Amino acid sequence: TKWVYTFAKGKAEGRADMKELLGGKGANLAEMSSLGIPVPAGFTMTTEVCTHFYDNDRTYPQDLEEQVLTALAEIEVHMDAKFGDAKAPLLVSVRSGARASMPGMMDTVLNLGLNDETVEGLAQQSGDTRFAYDSYRRFIQMYSDVVLGVDHYIFEELLEYYKDEKDYSLDTDLTGEDWKSLCDQYKEKVLEEMDEDFPQDPKVQLWGAVGAVFKSWMNARANTYRILHNIPAEWGTAVNIQAMVFGNMGEDCATGVCFTRNPSTGDKHFYGEYLINAQGEDVVAGIRTPQPLTIYEKEESGSKLPSMEEVMPKTFAELVTYRNKLEAHYKDMQDMEFTIQKDTLWMLQTRVGKRTTKAALKMAVDMCEEGLITKEEAVMRLDPHSLDQLLHPTLDPDAPRDVISRALPASPGAATGRIVFSAEDAEKWVKRKEEVILVRTETSPEDIGGMHVAEGILTTRGGMTSHAAVVARGMGTPCVSGAGDMRVDYKARTLTSFDGKVLAEGDVITLDGSNGEVILGTVPTIQPELSGDFAKLMHWADDIRELGVRTNAETPSDAEMARKLGAEGIGLCRTEHMFFEHARINYVREMILADDERKRREALGHILPFQRQDFEELFQIMEGLPLTIRLLDPPLHEFLPHSEHDMEEVAKIANMSVEGVKERAAELAEQNPMLGHRGCRLGITYPEIYEMQTRAIFEAACKVTKAGGKPVMPEIMIPLVAMNAELERLKVVVQNTAKEVCEAEGLEIDYMVGTMIELPRACLRAGEIAQAAEFFSFGTNDLTQTTYGLSRDDAGRFLRVYQEKGVINVDPFVSIDQDGVGELVQMGAERGRQTRPDIKLGICGEHGGDPASVAFCHKIGLSYVSCSPYRVPIARLAAAQAAL
Ligand code: ADP
Ligand code: MG
Ligand code: MG
């Protein structure tokens, strides 16, 4: 088996499309090398080695070592150096690289191959003792931390102590001799902690590091990340071994990270950070403040530090050519890592960059208009779920703000919450239903859980590419980073602002992730902008999709919002919600308490004008778009009063005794109301209720029509039908009432009568039900409940356990159970179409706004989905993606 793939100088055995085998980093290093971009020579050990490692008791395949030695020999030739050689030592980095990028999850070891002997060789060869020992101490620390498990802070303490002793303030104050004596201290410490010398044999170091990468695949934080991001453990990670290039050899050296476009705003500006005379993770570690890459960015951010464009113009220009080449090649925004050794530029990584939703939208639209990608590709670039972020309110720019710090706008959006100082506390507080802002000096991968639940994240150290910033952007969580003028005191649990304001745990702050402000207390918000790029992309999606998208709405404000968000009608108007309004609930109760039809009709007569008014407004808002109105559905006792006071009030209105009210309420109570006297069963027993509702609908329709509005399109929906006989009877009630109203008004109104399909029997007998029904709307909430025999109001308690134990992957109330409930829907749709080929088929309920469920609806050929107003854009995009 081929376990090892090499790359060097314009050649490579791997390719970008081999991510499964080579991991993301390895595949892209190979691709860059083939494109003629300078990449230090190296090789990738495949993910199959990782799988083998775990399948075989943590051992390697037999022929691996030989392949590694051959590949290493090739690097030696390219670099004109030898691994372990005392005079010209080859140093390598050992880098993990999974298929999907897992930022910060796995550890990289740099400068591997250094020991007491080779460090001297490096010093002589480079003529720079300081550089050699700086590299050695970095290596000892990283290797000890990652491979031997000696915590890095032990070394940092030694360094701090050393600096104090010598009265140094910066790392750059240390001389070669200083680093050398620190290296000795470091090694002693390792001996002390491990009872073993720091390994001097480069081969032992190499296999130690390789083993550590494979083992880190299963460490706790990698496991957490995988669970959060649905990455299967079986994938495994690859290992990349690559010749070192040095950014820490002097002032003509540097290291940095950059993005082909701004990952936060999406602007088409080259964007990044770099540090002179630094190595590896220094930029993201937040130890020194990184410098801006470009002059533009320097001016934008008001940074006083010189940009790379000014300091190293030639190398910068070269970097720009790679930026252009890589973006054109991958046709997407790239996140790149580079190092400059003595004015020579080396590219160390490229990958499709993580971005905010706002940036993803802008880039998709821009790239399409630049001709880089097609409309279809642009539509595929956004995760429908993420649209949610664009639709949510932002801080009102005109509202007063008590700004206590201005720092980096690391991840956009507004967040308000109570201050907590640890990820653990964040999780605890959120369990108690508090909204929190996680405040840290900096974050690390162990904090993932807390970062996930926090409303926002604030750090006092680190740049735009720090751990906090990258992870927050990925999660869509607002983040402000590098608030250097604030101080965190973990012990006292306080946050102190530059002017001495002391905030305690639990105090409320607001973060503006779009401009980096930290604000005391809360700030009013404003509605988002739905025009511009958003409208463009949505328009492209609309051209592609085949499914219609409607909304579930009963209030005028919801209906208006839904239309702004692109709803093509109302798929579900739940009339019972209209009954609860203050002015009418008492009439509704009177109607329920009535013991004969006459009294019931009297009460209904009072409700009629209210109900007519409701429909009038909705018809006006929908301007001729279809409006599916579901007649009364819930069990009547849901409307009855519970408190003594309310009972008395109802008794008065209904002209009854309080006792009488209580008795009637007890009579109506059911053991199992969700399977009880509700839906069409109410219509059958009290047809006068449906009669009143139908009258209200048609009187409203006539009124709006007479006022010169567009023709209204009522679709009257009978809920909870199990048998065609139920529907047929109720259809007659609707038809007679409609006819009566229309004749009286002298108008003709087009309408349909259909049913909600939400019982398994209805799916089975759909062929028959379609004789009366002109449309079906699959009520998948109730259908899930009745198919599983699972109460949707109580299931939360144990469904979570089911998920944790892996019995189910997703909650069937969130994403439709395609195998079971889905099969019933499909069967219902097919049988319905057999009877009535042009039957209109839709779904309403939570699933209508879930991208996976929308894709399912597309697949089985429904006409539309209907969802809550804010999910309308999600459904539009998901429907377009399903059609591609
Ligand atoms: P991560 O996956 O956490 O980004 P990397 O493997 O990319 O880890 O390594 C982190 C950093 O270490 C790189 O960005 C780069 O600056 C540095 N690095 C890795 N390999 C080399 C190398 N061969 N020469 C110089 N620097 C390197
Ligand atoms: Mg990297
Ligand atoms: Mg229902």
CA dist 165 and 168 (Å) reads: 8
Identify the domain boundary among 526, 559, 587.
526
Percent of the residues in the chain that have a pLDDT greater than 90, as a whole number: 72
Per DSSP, which regions of 86-170 are E strands?
89-90, 92-98, 109-112
* Banded model confidence at residue 286, pLDDT cuts 50, 70, 90: low
* Banded model confidence at residue 629, pLDDT cuts 50, 70, 90: very high
CATH of the domain at 516: 3.50.30.10
Overall domain count for the chain: 4
Among 254-258, 746-750, 846-850, the least confident range: 846-850
CA of 870 relative to ligand 3 center, distance in Å: 21
Judge whether 385 lies within some domain.
no
Judge whether 273 lies within some domain.
yes
φ, ψ at 338 (rounded to 5°) = -145, 160
* Per-residue pLDDT, 762: 98
- Between 184 and 499, the higher pLDDT residue: 184
* Banded model confidence at residue 515, pLDDT cuts 50, 70, 90: confident
Quote the tokens at residue 703.
Answer: 């009124």
Residue 228 pLDDT more than 80? no
Same domain for 338 and 284, yes or no, is yes
Same domain for 560 and 517, yes or no, is no
Quote the tokens at residue 274.
Answer: 């770099």
Per annotation, catalytic residue among 50, 52, 368, 467: 467
**Chain centroid to CA 707:** 46
* Per-residue pLDDT, 474: 67
Judge whether 64 lies within some domain.
yes
pLDDT tens digits for range 392-431: 778 888 889 999 999 888 888 899 999 999 999 999 999 8
Residue 183 pLDDT more than 70? yes
pLDDT tens digits for range 569-614: 999 999 988 887 777 888 888 888 888 899 999 999 999 999 999 9
* Per-residue pLDDT, 476: 74
The predicted model gives 69-88 an average pLDDT of 96
Closest by Cα among 622, 647, 638 to 559: 622
Judge whether 380 lies within some domain.
no
Helices (H), 92-128: 118-126
**Residues pairing with 345 in the sheet:** 340
Q: Quote helix, strand, coil % in the chain, to nearest 5.
A: 50, 15, 35
Judge whether 49 lies within some domain.
yes
**Chain centroid to CA 700:** 43
Q: Is 245 in the pocket of ligand 1 (CB under 6 A)?
A: yes
Q: Which atom of ligand 1 is nearest to the CA of 101?
A: 2
- Determine the 3-state secondary structure of 273 from DSSP: strand
- Between 169 and 187, the higher pLDDT residue: 187
The predicted model gives 190-199 an average pLDDT of 95
Q: Whose CA is nearest to atom 3 of ligand 1?
A: 104
CATH of the domain at 277: 3.30.470.20
Quote the tokens at residue 818.
Answer: 């395609």
Identify the domain boundary among 526, 559, 588.
526
Q: Which atom of ligand 1 is nearest to the CA of 279?
A: 16
Domain that holds residue 50: 4-243
Same domain for 799 and 874, yes or no, is yes
Same domain for 519 and 551, yes or no, is no
Q: Is 232 exposed, middle or buried (0-12, 13-18, 19+ CB in 10 A)?
A: exposed
Residue 343 pLDDT more than 70? yes
CA dist 782 and 843 (Å) reads: 12
Residues, Cβ < 5 Å to ion ligand 2:
337, 349
CA dist 658 and 637 (Å) reads: 16
* Per-residue pLDDT, 105: 56
Contacts of residue 286, Cβ cutoff 8 Å, sequence gap at least 6:
442, 459, 461, 462, 463, 466, 482
Judge whether 423 lies within some domain.
yes
Judge whether 456 lies within some domain.
yes
If you ran DSSP here, which 8-state letter would residue 285 be given?
A: H
Same domain for 783 and 744, yes or no, is yes
CA dist 302 and 312 (Å) reads: 20
Same domain for 333 and 408, yes or no, is no
* Per-residue pLDDT, 102: 73
Quote the tokens at residue 94.
Answer: 């050992």
Same domain for 104 and 70, yes or no, is yes
pLDDT tens digits for range 776-802: 999 999 999 999 998 877 787 788 788
* Per-residue pLDDT, 720: 97
Entry field: residues in the chain:
884
Same domain for 618 and 577, yes or no, is yes
CA of 844 relative to ligand 3 center, distance in Å: 9
pLDDT tens digits for range 688-715: 999 999 999 999 999 999 998 788 899 9
Provide the mean pLDDT of the chain.
Answer: 92
Quote the tokens at residue 626.
Answer: 């279809």
Judge whether 23 lies within some domain.
yes
Residue 68 pLDDT more than 70? yes
Q: Are strands 508-512 and 414-420 parallel, antiparallel or unpaired?
A: antiparallel
* 742 is known as an active-site residue: no
* Per-residue pLDDT, 103: 57
DSSP string, 525-537: EEPPP-SHHHHHH
Residue 104 pLDDT more than 60? no
Same domain for 406 and 495, yes or no, is yes
Question: ipTM of the predicted structure?
Answer: 0.95
Q: Cα angle vertex 424, ends 423, 428, to 5°?
A: 115
Q: Is 258 in the pocket of ligand 1 (CB under 6 A)?
A: no
The residue type of 566 is: G
Ligand number, closest to the Cα atom of 757: 3
Same domain for 789 and 861, yes or no, is yes
Q: Is 118 in the pocket of ligand 1 (CB under 6 A)?
A: no
